[in-house]
């Protein structure tokens, strides 16, 4: 395994953001320099096959999140808040995946914060109803990446990291839900 990138300087921090799902969890690791600057360290997805049993998907998700935490040593984490589903089974499966993510962060003592999807879009785009394409373009621009370099679920995770970085830099953190 390659050596992790160096941590940002004092007065700044590293954020691990997770857009949790059972089959395709997006992640983003962002360094904040303490002066309003951001740097994408890594992003991607943790995938599991649709053929796998629920228990195997959860095991693989936990392993992937633990590996991210151990590799990047984040100071904080941001996860997307739960959705309201008409289908109870879908809600239960997403709840199980979120529980795995939260347990992995808690066992490594990483403080975590939850943000509603509209809050993330508001923070990143200035409009809570922004579309995926608009979010992707702004996230890529702010992090010096091209849209094609970022997978969809990773874009959402990077947006979460930017939202948390903005909240952590001001009084808005009091409005975030610490888990």
Which residue in the list 19, 31, 114, 156 is annotated as catalytic? 19
Burial level of 142, CB count in 10 A (0-12/13-18/19+)? middle
For helices 132-142 and 152-168, angle between their N-to-C axes, nearest 10 degrees: 60
Cβ contact 112:79 at 8 Å: yes
Give me the torsion for CA of 41, 163, 138, 32, rounded to 10°: -40
31 belongs to the catalytic site:
no
Which residue in the list 107, 114, 133, 153 is annotated as catalytic? 153
153 belongs to the catalytic site:
yes
Cβ contact 134:125 at 8 Å: yes
Which residue in the list 31, 80, 114, 156 is annotated as catalytic? 80
24-32 and 13-19 strand pairing: antiparallel
CA–CA separation, 29 and 7 (whole Å): 11
Query: Could you list the active site residues?
Result: 19, 80, 153
């Amino acid at each position: 395994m390659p050596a992790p990138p160096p941590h940002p300087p004092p007065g700044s921090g590293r954020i691990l953001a997770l857009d949790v799902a059972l089959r395709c969890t997006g992640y983003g690791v962002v360094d904040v320099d303490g002066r309003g600057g951001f740097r994408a360290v890594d992003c991607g997805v943790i995938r599991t096959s649709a053929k796998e049993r629920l228990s195997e998907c959860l095991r693989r998700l936990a392993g992937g999140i633990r590996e991210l935490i151990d590799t990047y040593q984040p100071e904080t984490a941001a996860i997307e808040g739960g959705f309201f589903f008409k289908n109870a089974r879908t809600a239960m499966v997403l709840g199980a995946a979120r529980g795995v993510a939260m347990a992995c962060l808690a066992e490594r003592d990483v403080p975590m914060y939850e943000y509603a999807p509209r809050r993330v879009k508001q923070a990143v785009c200035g409009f809570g109803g922004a579309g995926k394409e608009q979010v992707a373009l702004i996230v890529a621009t702010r992090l010096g990446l091209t849209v094609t370099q970022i997978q969809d679920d990773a874009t959402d995770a990077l947006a979460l990291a930017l939202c948390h970085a903005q909240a952590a830099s001001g009084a808005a953190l009091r409005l975030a839900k610490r888990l």
